[in-house]
Each structure stands twice: as C-alpha cells, then as structure tokens.
Structure 1
Amino acid sequence: MDNTTYIALSRINALTHDLEVTSNNLANANTTGFKSSRELFSDYIVKQKDIHGIPGERTEAYTQDRATYQDHMQGQLRQTGNLTDFAINGEGFFAVQTTQGVRLTRNGQFQRRSDGTIVDISGNPILDRFQRPIVIPREDDVLSVASDGTISTQDGAIGTFDLMTVDNLNTLQPEGNYLLKPTTRTRVLPHKEIRQGMLESSNVNAITETTRMVEIQRDYDLNFQLVQTESTRRTNAIDKITQDASS
C-alpha cells in the first residue's frame, strides 16, 4: 500500500470509532442522567523528503484518534412525582457504593429497599459525605428531601444527601451508561440543589446525533471508495507492467 491508502485508512479507523460513540449516544437518548460522548481528532503531520527520487519535501496529514471525552452539560429536568426520584440542578454527583468501589452518578432514580437502604437502579447503596449508606428507618413512611439535601421523615431530619465532584471532570471514566469512576480525589460540594420527585434526562439531542451519524457514514464511504479506487489503480498498473515485460 502507498501513502494515499494509509492516509485514507487512518481516517476510516477514526470514523469507525466515532460511529460507535455516536451510536451509543443515540441508543441512550432516553437514559436518565446519561452524558453524551465525543471523539477528539487531530492531524498527524508527516514530512518526507525526496519521495521516489523526486526532490523536495512533501507533507502528509494522517488522522489521529486522540481521546474520547464526555459532555457534562446538564440535561432537562422532568417531573415524575416519585418521592424516591431525585435530580441535581447544577453541579455535582451522587456517590454510590458498587462492588468495584465508590462511583459517581447523575441518575437519581432511586429505590427504598425493605431494610430502608436507599439504592440506585442496580441496587447500589447511595452514600453520604462519610461514605455511609443512607438508610431510612423502616417505621418511617414519610420521606421529604429539601433542596439542600436534608432528608426528613415524620420524626424530623435524619440525614443528608451530599453531592460529590472532582476538580477536573475529564478525569472521570464512564462505566456502563450511568456510572462514573473517579480517578482523582473527590470532594463534597458546599452548595447544592436537589429536586425531589424529578429526574434529569439524557443530554443527548437525538436529531443532532442522527445528523452526525449520516455525516460520519458519508465520510466513511468516501474514504472507503478512495481505498478501493487506489487498490484498483495499483492492480491495473501491475498488470500493465507484467504484460509489457512479457511482450
């Protein structure tokens, strides 16, 4: 293969990953608290001199897949009326205890187990600032959470929903469709706003993602056609040289 083919293949490789990321965004357009991801590309510049005996310098640009990052823009808050549904307005994440360690999430679709423990949709306990599970006494049948996270029952305040964050959101590693693994030190947010009876929708715009998929597919097809055309050209050239040599 010559450099033209390598350049096209580098683009195809990057577009394949971009298509996977965009497809995942679209598949989670209705997932509570989901944050869309984006691909970060750059041109990898290569300078070569005296190519094939031709004097001078030539610059070639290869596509490099640098990273995948999340867009942490807040999704729309929607009313549910469920007392164990919670949405975060502004910064912060709920902390949950998983079998792999503490994880962060914006998905506040919680449940109350029979023992009173508040858990997420996968059964992971929700933690307070001291990384202790939040438990509502079994005998308490009234649950009220103020905007500052204070949890109250008919007997008064019993605890607090605390929100965690990290200094650089780009260091959070997605796990599944709603959990984030902190790779740096977490800290408690001093100010928070929690809405009971509401959930945060995915921040994915389905129309935008669909348009993006069409653009990626079109770009992919053009580069694939370039590879096929270049392959055909090289095959024809080799056949002609072979025929001339044998004649």
Structure 2
Amino acid sequence: MQDGMYTALFGALTQEHRMNIIANNLANVNTTGFKQDRTAFKDVFVRFAHDTIREPILHLRDKGLFPEPDYMSKVRIAESRIDFSQGSLKRSDNPLDIAISGEGFFKVRTDTGDYYTRNGHFTVSADGTVVNASGHQLLGEGGPITIEGNARIDISPEGQLFANGEAVDTIQVVTVSDLTGLRKVGQNNFEIHPDSGATEEAATDVVVQQGFLEAPNVEVVTEMVNMIETQRSFEAYQKAIMTSKETDSKAVNEVGKV
C-alpha cells in the first residue's frame, strides 16, 4: 500500500475531527455564555535516513541522489483550544439574569463538585436556593446563595446581592491563572485540568451586570464557511485515497502479470 494513502487517511480523519468541533459550535449558537472551540493545524514531517545525506559520500556512493530526496508530510491538529473571548451582552431585564463583563466566571456547585461557568441565567428554586437551568447552585462567598420569599433582588456591579435592600451575599466571580488550563465538562461548565498547573484566582477588572445575559461567541457565518471548507477538504482526501487504491490495484493486477 502506498504511503500516500495513509497521508490522505490522516488528513481525512483530521477534517472529520474538525467537522465535529464546527458542528458543536453551531449547535450552541443559542447557548448563553457558550465559548467556541478552535483548531490549528501543522504538518508532521517523516524523515528518512537518506534525506540528510544529499552530497556524494565516497565510501557509500560517488553521485548525488536522483531524484532529489524530499520529505513526506501528514496533517495533524497542532492545537485545539477554547476561545474565551467576550460575547455580546443582551438585555433581558430578569433580576436574576447576570452577565460578567471581563475575564471571569461564576462558580456553581453540582453533585460532582464545583465548576466554573459564564452562563448567568439563574432562578430561585422551591427551597429558595439560586440555581441555573441544570439545577446547579450559584456560589457566594458564604456558599450556595439562598433567598427567602418573593424578595426584590438587586445586584451591584461588584456582585453583591441584596434582597429587599438587605445584603445577602457576594457572588463569587473568579478566574484562573492560565485559561488554557480549563477544559469543558458538559452543561456549559468548565474545570481546571489537573495536569495544567493552573490555579483559581480572584477576578479583577470585571463588572457584574444585572438584567443581562452573555451571548455565545460563535459567528454563524464564519462557522458555516469553515464547514464548507472542511467538507471540500474531506472530499479531496477521499479522492486521493481512491486514486492511491486504483494505482495499487493496477500494480498488482496488470504490472505484476508475467
């Protein structure tokens, strides 16, 4: 089998992975606070022993290589990362809809631990706890935030929450020392990867805006263009695989005949 078939196969698999990422971005164009994924590509060069020996060597050969040796490359994903750029803020006028302007995250408590999120759509549960649509509890400086009765809710730009004019708690708004150390864990939540070395820090230069929600940072037109480009690339790799297969078939069935 020709090495060209493997090269095309690796390229097709890479484009398939890229398509999955694009599809997930497009599926979340209406998800509050969603952060899109981005990919970058590189060539991985396969080096042969004779590639580093271009000049004649008397005890090996007296002429240079013909044809000239070169490198074969296979496409690889060099980087897949989360784009944490700010999404636009949309007014909702819901007192428990809050958005962060700047680099920071809300902390929520789930059955499996505490996570970070940019989704600021919260409600009050039957027991008075402030939760999001998944039932995750919004954390303040004193733990899960609770509100009694049908109180009038006000939230300051610093994140301090008031019920009927009385201070209840301050919403935790945090960030991490290295955003590349965050990974998605589902339900629009993030956690620090244990091997990243990143640590939680208090967020600075952020403003908590009541009555607003952050839109996802996905640009639909850009993602649609990327999808078409990826599909065309995948089709090109398919053709390369079929061409390599046909060449192998002719070599076996025609050239190999006596």
TM-score, normalised to structure 1, is 0.92
Among 127, 133, 137, the alignment partner of 1:121 is: 133
2-side partners of 1:155 and 1:81: how far apart? 18
1-side partners of 2:141 and 2:204: how far apart? 11
2-side partners of 1:134 and 1:154: how far apart? 15
Among 150, 173, 184, the alignment partner of 1:174 is: 184
Partner of 1:84: 96
Among 215, 230, 246, the alignment partner of 1:232 is: 246
Partner of 2:162: 152
1-side partners of 2:155 and 2:255: how far apart? 80
The reply on whether 1:93 has 2:98 as its aligned counterpart is: no
Q: Which amino acid aligns with 2:88?
A: Q
**Gaps in structure 2 of 5+ consecutive residues:** 52-64
What secondary structure does 1:222 align onto? helix
2-side partners of 1:140 and 1:217: how far apart? 52
Choose 190-199 or 10-19, whichever is displaced more: 190-199
Quick one: percent identity of the two aligned structures? 31
1-side partners of 2:11 and 2:256: how far apart? 32
Contact 1:49/1:57 (8 A) holds in 2: no
Over 3 Å counting, the alpha-carbon distance change for 1:161 and 1:142 in structure 2 is same
Partner of 2:61: none
Q: Which amino acid aligns with 1:128?
A: G
What secondary structure does 2:81 align onto? strand
2-side partners of 1:192 and 1:217: how far apart? 40
The reply on whether 1:143 has 2:153 as its aligned counterpart is: yes
| Pairing of 1:33-112 with structure 2 (within 5 A) | 33-49=33-49, 57-112=69-124
**What is the count of residue pairs matched by the alignment?**
241
2-side partners of 1:145 and 1:90: how far apart? 17
Root mean square deviation of aligned Cα: 1.8
What secondary structure does 1:127 align onto? strand
Among 220, 231, 237, the alignment partner of 1:217 is: 231
**Gaps in structure 1 of 5+ consecutive residues:** none
Q: Which amino acid aligns with 1:174?
A: K
1-side partners of 2:234 and 2:192: how far apart? 34
Superposed CA offset, 1:4-56 (max 9, x none): 111111111111100000010011111110001012322111122459x9676
Deviation of the 1:57 alpha carbon: 3.2
Superposed CA offset, 1:180-233 (max 9, x none): 012332122244301111100010001110110000000110011011011011
Q: Which amino acid aligns with 2:185?
A: E
2-side partners of 1:149 and 1:105: how far apart? 15
2-side partners of 1:33 and 1:116: how far apart? 24
2-side partners of 1:173 and 1:103: how far apart? 10
Over 3 Å counting, the alpha-carbon distance change for 1:98 and 1:190 in structure 2 is same
2-side partners of 1:65 and 1:91: how far apart? 27
2-side partners of 1:237 and 1:119: how far apart? 66
TM-score, normalised to structure 2, is 0.88
Partner of 2:209: 195
